[in-house]
Each structure stands twice: as C-alpha cells, then as structure tokens.
Amino acid sequence: MRISLAVFLFILCFALPVYTLEKNHLFREAFDSLENWRPLSFPKIKSHTTYTVESTGKESYLKAESKSSASGLVYKKTFSIYEYPKAKWRWRVDLFSLKGDPSKKSGDDYPIRVYFMFRYDPEKASFFEKMQYGLAKKIYGEYPPHSTLNYVWSYTDKIPDVLVSPFTDKARIVVLRKGERYRGQWIVEEVDVLADYRKAFGKNPPSTAGVAIMSDSDNTRGEAASSVDFLEVYRDAP
C-alpha cells in the first residue's frame, strides 16, 4: 500500500514521543547520556558513588549506587537564578541502609540530593571571606561555592524540614521526602529555588548558580540506591 510523504510524516510525528523545550525552560536533562555532566569528588573521600544511565526501552534515567561512598555529578553550564529560579525533577529511592542523626556529621548522608551551588564572587566579598576563600583555592585549585541549597530525600522521619548542614553554615538542607513511605515510587518535585534560598538563608543569593546531583553514604557507612528520571530548570511563562 502506498502512502504520501505528508501522511507518513503525520503518522511518524504522532507515533514517537516528542518533548519540545518550552521558551521559559533553560534546559531539560533527560539523561540519555552524561555528556552534560562532570564528576564531583571530594579530596578526603576515596570511595565514590557509581552513576550510570539506565534505559527502560522507552526512556532513560540516571541511577546512583552508593556504598560507604560519596561523589556527585555537576551540570556543566551555570545560569542566573534570578532569570531561571525554578526547578522540577522526578526521583526515586529503592534502597537506603543509612542510620544516624542527619543534624550531626556522623549522620549527614542522603540517598539522593539535588542541590544548587551559588558562585563565590571575590569582588563582593569581605576581607575575611577573601582570605578564607583564597586559602581554599590554594588547597583545592578553585573557589568553593559561596553557598549551597540541598534538596534531599531523607532516610529518617526524625528530621526538620529545613536544617543547617553540620559541616558548614554555608549550606542549607531542605527535606522534601522522609523515610520509607515512598520507597520504590517515582515522585515529581517542583521547587522555587530562589524563594527557598531566601527563606533558608534570610537573604538573596549570588546570581550565578549551578546544579548538581549526589548520593552519599560515607558518614553512616551504609548503602543507597536511587534514580533521577529528568531535571528541568525554568521560569514562569510570561
């Protein structure tokens, strides 16, 4: 049976799933590969979390497996948080044998984090900050973030909705999911990063931001397995 080219294209367009990036979206990461991401490791942590791209046949997703380990992935491009203040993603936690108090250093692990890093600007820093960040650059080769906002899935219900990181007062933890209730289920999260930063820190963030994903279990010496299906950074449509 012969069909015209127009009919063929019409059938093809409706037969294949297509995602069109909306004008108000900066990016949508579907995890077809990891080419848009670079590894993030920490000098004192030798065991790293494993990140792989998995496929269900129809779509792909990022899988993270952590065994007494910690490392992350950083999206290669930065952006203005004032131009694109919102984010959306879908994640799932399948395993976490983590125990402890997340408000203490010994319990500061999460099966999955999506977090935003805000760039340090030496031109706007105080004298003390310039000395502090200058020393850090000599040790690590680059400036650490000015501050970070971590969205996490906690392994315990016994945790506040927002807390200061036990390692640094320049990081805030925003707990979106707690405990066993949604284990094994895909959950969609939508957040206003700019508004959440203002609430958590009580001030405005630096303009330049980046986004990262991490699964860590080094402090609790446990295990975790989690996945992220997609990640979007966007602004409201005009």
- 120-123 long-range contacts (CB < 8 A, ≥24 apart) are 120/144, 120/145, 120/146, 120/206, 121/146, 121/206, 121/208
* Rounded CA separation 216/65 (Å): 9
Average pLDDT value for residue range 195-215? 97
Task: State the pLDDT confidence band at 130, using cuts at 50, 70 and 90.
Answer: confident
pLDDT digits (tens, 9 = 90+) for 67-117: 999 999 999 999 999 999 999 999 999 999 999 899 999 999 999 999 999
Q: How confident is the model at residue 33 (pLDDT cuts 50, 70, 90)?
A: very high
Q: Which residues pair with 174 in a beta bridge?
A: 151, 162
